[in-house]
Amino acid sequence: MSSPPVAIVTGASRGIGRAIAGQLAADGYAVVVNYLRNHDAAEQVVREIQQAGGSALAAAGNVGAAADRQRLIDTTLDRWHRLDVLVNNAGITSQGRRDLLEATEESWDLVFDTNLKGPFFLCQLAARKMIELIAAGVTSRGTLINISSISAYAASTNRADYCMAKAALQMMTWLLADRLAEQRIWVYEVCPGVIASDMTAPVREKYDRLIAEGLSPIRRWGQPEDVARAVSMLAAGSLSFSTGERLNVDGGFHIRRL
């Protein structure tokens, strides 16, 4: 019997990442549940997947650190000897949400390390291995999925570093898609809108009001499962003649309206 396809989901111990890990496991993937600090939460995700009949393991690692990125790839291959999908989900918001005239280099470095440098170099490592595995006939294709945000194009002057790092993910996705198409590796960007999660919890009252006032045509909070279903479709190869594409999961927020 052939081995199941394997997916790495970064930042998978909570929120959107947790939902993505659960969805991919339900789709038949063995899932690497990456986390930074919350070991217990990650192990709970693994238990839930295993109890549902799936395969998973928890893997600690800071995506902003080179050694941790390498260990994440090595751990995956040591366990399952293949890698089919990488979901770059781990991300942090601007530290302190300061006005851009008060923004700090400390926050800049932390946000860019986690939200841009980490995903780029993790894609690089994953793509190299995927190329080897495809050439060896272990896998037939690879998929890289970058979880971005509507903040890639919607300005928030109190989160300059976050917005700029997310904006750069689109070009990163295009570059990787162009470079890797011949190697049968598809690359996508997913832009969630206002999603109920730990990151948005501190500003829930603000977004409750904005959603009620018509922030997006679909007037409700997005749920982590909405993003997970989009990732599931992309990972399955349903859009096999599309690469470098941005998929908005935002209730229609991206539509310019008068």
Q: Which residues are part of the catalytic machinery?
A: 162
Contact between 186 and 243 under an 8 Å Cβ cutoff? The reply is yes
- In angstroms and rounded to an integer, the radius of gyration of the C-alpha atoms of the chain is 18
Distance CA 235, CA 231 (A): 6
Residue 208's contacts (CB-CB under 8 Å, 6 or more residues apart) are none
The H or E element that residue 190 is part of is: strand 185-192
Token pair for 188: 């996508």
Output b/e per residue, 153-184; b: 16+ Cβ within 10 A. beeeeebbbbbbbbbbbbebbbebbeebeeee
Q: Shortest CA distance to 32 belongs to which of 46, 44, 48?
A: 46
